[in-house]
Amino acid sequence: MVFRIEDKYRLELYWSTVNYDMEGVAKLNGAYFKGPVLREVAQLEQQDIMNLDFKDQYIFMVPFYYVAVLSWQGVNQTVEKISLSNVILKNKYLNSVPKLNDDDHILIDTKNHEDDKHQCYLSYPSYLIKFDGDVHNFRG
């Protein structure tokens, strides 16, 4: 899978552990955002959501587009890192696709989410990345 994300639009979501306690829900413990885009981002809301569009990566595994809802309740924001509390990732197919590993992370393209364009785009193109920096390839 080939994709390009301009460095200034890169947002990365990391976590220390992930738990699957409920169907369709992954709890991301110790979650935080990092990446070059943090130099430009406004203060995040303490409670908010992002729609992460994984369709390019999971198209062969689910019958419809795979958009997962990332939500959080609590933010501690600095220029270098945004720590998140009570983070969950939800999608009805979450338990049908390979589980997230503790050493994975998600790469998010924020290109179309600058103030003048954000309202026109409902989701963020996203990719599940392995511990070694390669994109998970689920095509076989």
pLDDT at 27: 98
Give the residue carrying structure tokens 């301009």. 6
What is the tens place of the pLDDT at every residue in 95-130?
Answer: 777 889 999 999 999 887 666 665 656 899 999 999
Cα separation, 53 vs 61, whole angstroms? 14
Q: Is the pTM of this model over 0.75?
A: yes
pLDDT at 2: 47
* Average pLDDT of span 34-52: 92
* Average pLDDT of span 47-61: 83
Task: Output the CA–CA distances (angstroms, integers) from residue 63 to 38, 56, 91, 92, in the order listed.
Answer: 34, 13, 13, 11
Specify the DSSP class assigned to residue 86.
S
Cα separation, 60 vs 17, whole angstroms? 26
Write the CB contacts of 116 (distance below 8 Å, at least 6 apart in sequence). none
